[in-house]
Structure 1
Amino acid sequence: MKKLHFFIIKAYLRPFATTFLIVLFILMMLFLFKYIDEFVGKGVDWFTVAELIFYANASNVPLALPLAILLSSIMTFGSMGENYELVAIKASGISLTRAMLPLLLIMTVLCLTTFYFANIVIPQANLKIASTIYEFRQTKPSFLIKEGVFYDGIDGYSIKVEKKDEETQTLHGIILYDHTKGNGNTTVLKAEEGEMYKSADEQYLILKLKNGVRYEEMRGERNRNQRERLVRVKFEEHEQKFLLTGFSVADIDEDLFKNNFQMQNISQLEYSADSLNEKRRQELKRLATDIAPYYIYSRDSLFAKYEPLEFDFKDPDFLRNIDENDRELVLHSALGYMRNVKSNTSPAATQNAAAFKLVKRHWVEFHRKFTLSVACFVLFFIGAPLGAIIRKGGLGLPVIVAIVFFLVFHITSTIGEKAAREGSWTPYAGMWLSTAVLIPLGIFLTYKATSDSSLFDLENYIRFFRKLNPWRKKAVLPKKETPGPL
């Protein structure tokens, strides 16, 4: 390898390391902002927070690499162009594409690293983050209850607390509505304070209330005094038990637990998608078997026993062909058939749509693992020639240009992914939309950079539009006077 190659690699690695750490830090701060209200002041030890940050940074590596590659490529070649180093390289007979060759080896390593993180590290990191948060919420059940807000995550109950001690997890000003009887707000418990913990066998969640009152509105009965409808019981201590199966701990973690495709690699995603498709086919076959008895006109044996009558079903008066005594029976029978078919098809249609959407999400995640690694190559072939064209280094203009092109990449990726999730496009077309948009742009910029095009020279555009102006004034040169004869 020539000294020039070492020079280019060294010039590239410095801004790449800086930009990568900056982008990774920004993504880490976004993760902390997402969970800051849930962890700060909740008694979470620093080791747990550090563990979550570590796993979050590991999962953010494939997201930080494309932007870092784009920004560092623009900064490297922009700085070399600004310092006339590219001019010296071209003067020695080395083209721009040849000067980019040593960086292609680095891009290959970064692409493979991105794919490894997307396929292996991210699923494991998501699983670790989910299990850590889930374990913390299981050990501290009052974690999900917010101050001044009714919490309906317990089946059949609604609870509200005025204040919560973050250190001891003691609840103050408790209001508990019991809806298990299905009679509305007929049973209410109010207590000054209480605490929530799990039973020894971890089967029940216990809410221990202190200094409270239980109000229960009894339904009035005949021959009874109406004043006895309201029952009020004061207590110093009272334990209310809830089954842990009805405690919706996973409601907030829907993206972490329900969407488990985020914790799978490509082979697992492919297997899960095929399994879901097979399950959908089996459910459709079962549905066809269940509703087949209601379509008696499709049976061949029926026409062998009875002579069919000629009906024009488009005629609103076709019922006149049926005997008047049997007409009502026929209508009730048909209505019953339709209701039975609807009762079978409506839930099946909902389940099939949900399963179809889940299959799409699996394939979207499958293609994402490849698009992130390919994006590193594409953004490099945009950033390197773009830096050679603008010929500006540092963190000024290169950052602005990099943000613009990264926004194009991000917006097209978001549009394609949303269309793929909703089923408007196939997952393949939606996830590869940004790559299809940026590849022609990278080829165009590489061509312009190798041909020394002044693509961002403002004077060229000013001269071009001046030529298009038909009313421009032409400069009138003064006539030279010819000297007369002496």
Structure 2
Amino acid sequence: MKILDRYILTSFITTFASVFIILFFIFVLQGIWLFISELAGKDLDVWLVIKFLAFYSPKIVPLVLPLSILLASIMTFGSFAENYEFAAMKSSGISLGRAMRGLTVFICALSIVAFFFANNVIPKAEYKFINLRKNIIQRKPAMAIVEGQFNALGNFNIKVDKKSGENGEKLAGVTIHKRVPGAANATIIRSKKGLLKSDEKSNLLQLELFDGHYYEDINSKNPVERMRQPFAKSSFSKQIMNIDLTMLNSNDIDDEKIAHTNTMLNVSELNYTLDSLENNQIKEAKSITDNIVQRSSVVLEDLNASKLLPNQPNQVKKDSIPKNLLDLIKVKEDKSRILDIAANNISSTDYLVKSGKDQMYEKTKNVNNHWLALYDKFVIAFACLLMFFIGAPLGAIIRKGGLGLPIVFAVLIFIIFHFINTFGRKLAQENGIPPFLGAWMSSFVLSPLAILLTYRATNDIGMINMDNILLPLQKVFTKLFKIKQKEE
């Protein structure tokens, strides 16, 4: 390695390491705020918190790494240009492309490392992270409940006045609102004492209630009675409730109700899973279609079997077929029966179509999420190269190092990259565009910018040639000024 390559590489790595550590720490703090309700006031030991953050932090790397490369590239090459080091290189016959050669090899190696990190480390860390959250709650079930406020657990909203015991498993003043999706009735349970129990091998949290009352609204068919809002009340000395913690252990932090198991799979596992999911999707679509067709055939057979429709071809002459098929039926009651059967058939078929459409939508969304997870492992590797070829020539063009202007450009470019990436992913999840395009959209949009900046920097062309803008304006003002002088 030549002295120049070593000098450029050392300068870049020093800046990159500093920027990466700072940004990584900032994003970890953001993660702490996301899970503050699970960490604060839970009497967790330091080692458990460290494990929690250690398993969470790998998923931050795909965000921090491209931004760190972009900012370090702008700062390093901007500093070289600002201190006239590039001018010295060019006077010695060394072009910008030659100066970037050593760093390009380093970034390529870093991209390969990023791919293997995203393929092997992040899925395992995600699996460990989800199971750690599950184990924390199961070993200390009282962690799922905070004193003095309602806590959503499964289909229950639970409020506890006070917790006691070694792990906070003894409860006092328990109020429970039971939520049943789609039901109008409200159920409220109040008890003086409660006890939490759990098993590490189960997702169920057992709650024993003592000395309490059970209230449930009653829906009356009589409007007058309904206005009085009647309810049923019963008392109990002991009652056992099982609370499902499956949703609480979900790894989705954006309040989506779909389990993202695809984030815990590597490339080979995703390919295998995708093959199974797509085959299952095809079978499900065929089953729904066959069910709708078969139901229509059964209805027609029932009509013929009941002799409501003429099933013999010679019963009706071709030239005497009326425009309204109901005119073929002479009995008024039979016409009503046919209309009722047709209405019921349309209603049931419409329900089958809508339910089948919803099922296929969820399956398609699940398949798209797996495809996005597969492409993301390659996108992170390409993003490292893309950000370098944007940052290095941009730094040489703006000729500013340090933490001033480079941070502004880096943040603006990364926000655009991240916004397009998020927009493409959301659109692909909803099946608006193919998952491949959704995952690579940000790279496709910013690649021309990288090519343009690299071309202009290597050919000593500035970001914007101000002469091309100012000269036409200067000519216009000169002509106007001469015209005014002639008029005077």
After TM superposition, the score normalised by the length of structure 2 is 0.82
In the superposition, relative to structure 1, how do residues 311 and 468 fare at CA in structure 2: closer, same or farther (>3 Å)?
A: farther
Give 1:73's aligned amino acid: S
SS across alignment from 2:313:
coil
Residue in 2 aligned with 1:284? 285
Residue in 1 aligned with 2:93? 93
Residue in 2 aligned with 1:222? none
Question: In structure 2, how many angstroms separate the alpha carbons of the residues matched to 1:128 and 1:150?
Answer: 29
Question: In structure 1, how many angstroms separate the alpha carbons of the residues matched to 2:175 and 2:18?
Answer: 53
In the superposition, relative to structure 1, how do residues 465 and 199 fare at CA in structure 2: closer, same or farther (>3 Å)?
A: same
Residue by residue over 1:149-197, the C-alpha shift from the partner in whole angstroms, topping out at 9 and shown as x without a partner, is: 4445355x553223446974243322235789x9945774331x43312
Residue in 1 aligned with 2:112? 112
Residue in 1 aligned with 2:365? 357
Residue in 1 aligned with 2:159? 160
Shift of residue 352, structure 1, vs aligned partner:
1.0
In the superposition, relative to structure 1, how do residues 429 and 5 fare at CA in structure 2: closer, same or farther (>3 Å)?
A: same
Give the unaligned 5+ runs of structure 1: 220-228, 477-486
Shift of residue 51, structure 1, vs aligned partner:
1.0
Is structure 2 residue 429 aligned with structure 1 residue 421? yes
Residue in 2 aligned with 1:306? 312
Larger CA Rg, structure 1 vs 2: 1
SS across alignment from 2:194:
strand
Residue in 1 aligned with 2:51? 51
Question: In structure 2, how many angstroms separate the alpha carbons of the residues matched to 1:375 and 1:213?
Answer: 59
Residue in 1 aligned with 2:225? none
Is structure 2 residue 304 aligned with structure 1 residue 323? no
Coordinate RMSD, CA, aligned: 3.6
Residue by residue over 1:130-152, the C-alpha shift from the partner in whole angstroms, topping out at 9 and shown as x without a partner, is: 00001111222232234444445
Residue in 2 aligned with 1:348? 356
Is structure 2 residue 413 aligned with structure 1 residue 405? yes
Residue in 2 aligned with 1:73? 73
Residue by residue over 1:193-233, the C-alpha shift from the partner in whole angstroms, topping out at 9 and shown as x without a partner, is: 433123799697443456x54356899xxxxxxxxx98775
SS across alignment from 1:393:
coil
SS across alignment from 2:42:
coil
Residue in 2 aligned with 1:24? 24
Is structure 2 residue 195 aligned with structure 1 residue 198? no
Q: Alignment partner for residue 248 of structure 1, among 225, 245, 248?
A: 245
Question: In structure 2, how many angstroms separate the alpha carbons of the residues matched to 1:22 and 1:447?
Answer: 31
Shift of residue 279, structure 1, vs aligned partner:
0.9
In the superposition, relative to structure 1, how do residues 386 and 166 fare at CA in structure 2: closer, same or farther (>3 Å)?
A: farther
Is structure 2 residue 457 aligned with structure 1 residue 449? yes
Contact 1:41–1:167 under 8 Å retained in 2? no
Question: In structure 2, how many angstroms separate the alpha carbons of the residues matched to 1:162 and 1:312?
Answer: 81
Give 2:43's aligned amino acid: G
> Structure 1 stretch 462-471 or stretch 346-355: which is displaced more?
462-471
Contact 1:368–1:431 under 8 Å retained in 2? yes
Contact 1:206–1:242 under 8 Å retained in 2? yes
SS across alignment from 1:241:
strand
Contact 1:207–1:239 under 8 Å retained in 2? no
Shift of residue 16, structure 1, vs aligned partner:
0.7
Question: In structure 2, how many angstroms separate the alpha carbons of the residues matched to 1:457 and 1:167?
Answer: 72
Number of residues of Structure 1 aligned to a counterpart in Structure 2 = 454
> Structure 1 stretch 194-203 or stretch 407-416: which is displaced more?
194-203
Identity among equivalent positions (%) equals 34
- TM alignment of 1:168-317, pairs within 5 A: 168-169=167-168, 170-176=170-176, 184=185, 188-191=189-192, 193-198=193-198, 205-209=205-209, 212-214=211-213, 238-243=237-242, 246-251=243-248, 253=250, 255=252, 258-296=259-297, 306-307=312-313, 317=324
Residue by residue over 1:285-344, the C-alpha shift from the partner in whole angstroms, topping out at 9 and shown as x without a partner, is: 222333333333999xx99963185699996x4422322242122223323433443454
Is structure 2 residue 440 aligned with structure 1 residue 432? yes
Question: In structure 1, how many angstroms separate the alpha carbons of the residues matched to 2:430 and 2:203?
Answer: 39
Contact 1:311–1:318 under 8 Å retained in 2? no
Contact 2:204–2:244 under 8 Å retained in 1? no
Shift of residue 80, structure 1, vs aligned partner:
0.7
In the superposition, relative to structure 1, how do residues 370 and 194 fare at CA in structure 2: closer, same or farther (>3 Å)?
A: same
Give 2:368's aligned amino acid: K
After TM superposition, the score normalised by the length of structure 1 is 0.82
Residue by residue over 1:378-430, the C-alpha shift from the partner in whole angstroms, topping out at 9 and shown as x without a partner, is: 11111111111111111111111111111121122122112111111111112
